[in-house]
Amino acid sequence: MNQTQVKIPVRKASASACVLDIHGEINSAAEPVLMEAYNQACAAGSRFVLINFTDLEYMNSSGIGLLVTLLIRARRQGQKLMAFGLNEHYSQIFELTRLNEAILIFDSEADALKAIA
Amino acid sequence: MSENSTSENSHPKKRVDGWAAPVSRLNADSVPGDVTNINVTGRHITTALQGFGQMWQKTYRIRFEGAHPDPREVVRVWKEEFPSFWPKGNYFYSKGGPMQPGDVAVLNLSGPGGINAPGGKPLISTGILVVYADDDSFSFVTPEGHILAGMNTFSAYEENGAVYAQVQALIRASDPLYEILFRLGLGNKMEDDFWMETIKNLATRFGANGTRTLTRVCVDSGVQWSKAKNIWHNAAIRTTLHHIASPVRWVLRKVGGK
């Protein structure tokens, strides 16, 4: 299978929001790590899950598939999925795959938290 | 809070970006003029987020037995000879050459059991856009009107000393009519037969037999009623109407002197 190196620490950003800081590559092998990070955000009672792509090294099409699956899970839980820190290239990938129509995208964490408040 | 990580192996190779450039609408004008090409040009692409029906993740996998090719060679050949592994009666028209990011192809597909429209014409004319391709995998998404809204990813890999090839589909039926076909089992049978035969043919190309498996996971059991209007683009309906209207087009061409 694909091999990857990814770390996704989870931190509380506000009473209702958690941030998943992605460090590394998002491909099919990242699934257990990403889902575990999401589960931690759920356990913390977050209504808003913010994904920080600032330190994303690479994402392939399987990675986009993981984000789609995560988005559906979040919707089922009544949560909102948000993203920030996307560089121009990955902003274009979100546009190409129409993820930008389903995930709220912000330039920075501060902008995302301001929108939540 | 804690940190989640995986580091199964280091990844020393430099990643070459495999993504297509963004496109707002598809253009399939480069494919040959003698195919039924009516449901691609001008269409938006769709992923599972834009579909109507239940969302499924399906994985069609074959374990190569009797041959042990390099997985990257499998992906290279799969990209280069993509339509040659398809079941008979289904046609793929592109600009030619291996699948590359940004390629748009027109598909002329038969129905369940290989049935065609009268005159051997395709039952469904639709297409795909290759959104991603690298040495390890490639993916396409579908245009509005396709049976399925979603992304298919094709890959090969080695695990526990064996080589596997797989198709992973993250999909929803595009509209209510297609969803009925899936709920009745016809859509699933059509799709499952298609990809199971494809991976078998791929293994045969490498002189391998194989054990095939199919796993289905329902990612979202609900339907998206807001997408019911997708039926406007239904490629099966439009292809049928196109065939019905062909005598009228023929007369108009004669009258017009073309």
* Domain CATH code at residue B181: 3.30.530.20
Strands B137-143 and B124-133: antiparallel
* Dist. CA B52–CA B39, nearest whole Å: 18
The pLDDT of residue B251:
85
User: How close is the nearest chain A Cα to the Cα of B247, in Å?
Assistant: 39
Tell me whether residue B31 is in a domain: no
| Interface membership of A32 toward B (CB under 8 Å) | yes
Specify if B23 maps to a domain.
no
Helix axes B71-80, B186-205, angle to 10 degrees: 120
Report pLDDT for B96. 85
Please give the pLDDT value at position B253.
81
Percent above pLDDT 70 for chain A: 97
Assigned domain for B210 exists? yes
ipTM of the complex: 0.90
Count up the domains in chain B and report the number. 1
Closest CA to A99 of A61, A68, A66: A68
Which strand (E) or helix (H) includes residue A42? helix A31-43
Q: What is the pLDDT along chain B (258 residues), one digit of tens a residue?
A: 555 655 433 343 445 689 999 998 999 887 776 788 889 999 999 999 999 999 999 999 999 999 999 999 999 999 999 999 999 889 999 888 899 999 999 999 987 777 777 777 788 899 999 999 999 999 999 999 999 999 999 999 999 999 999 999 999 999 999 999 999 998 999 899 999 999 999 999 999 999 999 999 999 999 999 999 999 999 999 998 988 888 888 888 888 765
- pLDDT of B247: 82
Q: Which is it for the CA torsion B233, B239, B240, B245, positive or negative?
A: positive
Write down the pLDDT at residue B258. Answer: 54
B100 Rama sector, left if φ>0, alpha if ψ -120 to 50, beta otherwise: beta
Q: How far apart are CA B22 and CA A91, in angstroms?
A: 10
Phi, psi of A108 (to 5 degrees): -140, 165
Is residue B138 within 8 Å of residue B130, measured between CB atoms?
Answer: yes
Closest CA to A1 of B162, B56, B66, B133: B162
Task: Tell whether B245 is covered by a domain.
Answer: yes
For residue B231, give how far its alpha carbon lies from the nearest alpha carbon of chain A (Å).
19
B226 near A CB under 8 A = no
Instruction: Give the minimum alpha-carbon distance from B2 to chain A in angstroms, rounded to a whole number.
Output: 6
Contact between chains at B4 and A7 (C-beta distance less than 8 A): yes
Q: Is residue B171 part of a domain?
A: yes
- Chain A residues whose CB is inside 8 A of the B136 CB are 2, 60
B20 inside domain: no
Nearest by CB: B11 against A4, A68, A69: A4
How far apart CA B164 and CA B74 sit, in angstroms, is 9
Q: What is the pLDDT of residue B14?
A: 47
Give the range of the structural domain holding residue B239, as residue numbers without chain letter: 45-257
State which residue of chain A sits closest to B141, comparing Cα positions: A97
The residue type at B95: K
Distances (CA, A) of B168 to A4, A22, B154: 18, 24, 7
pLDDT of residue B4: 60
pLDDT at B73: 98
Best mutation site among A8, A97, A103 for testing chain B: the one with the most B CBs within 10 Å?
A: A97
Q: How far is B256 from chain A (nearest CA, A)?
A: 41
pLDDT given at position B255: 84
Closest chain B residue to the Cα of A37, Cα to Cα: B4
CB contact under 8 Å between B49 and A101, yes or no, is yes
d(C-alpha B141, C-alpha B152), whole Å: 7
* Residue type (1 letter), A44: A
pLDDT in tens, A90-115: 999 999 999 999 999 999 999 999 99
Cβ contacts (< 8 Å) between A63 and chain B: which residues? none
User: What does the pLDDT read at residue A1?
Assistant: 57
Higher pLDDT, A61 or B112: A61
Convert the pLDDT of each residue in A1-21 to its tens digit: 556 689 999 999 999 999 999
User: For residue B15, is it within any domain?
Assistant: no
B221 touches A at CB < 8 Å: no
B48 to chain A, any CB pair closer than 8 A? The answer is yes
Tell me whether residue B170 is in a domain: yes
Residue B37, pLDDT score: 84
Chain A CB contacts of B1 below 8 Å: 9-12, 18, 40, 44
pTM for the model: 0.90
* Residue of A96, A98, A99, A101 to mutate when probing chain B, most B C-beta within 10 A: A96
Task: Name chain B contacts of A7, Cβ cutoff 8 Å.
Answer: 3-5
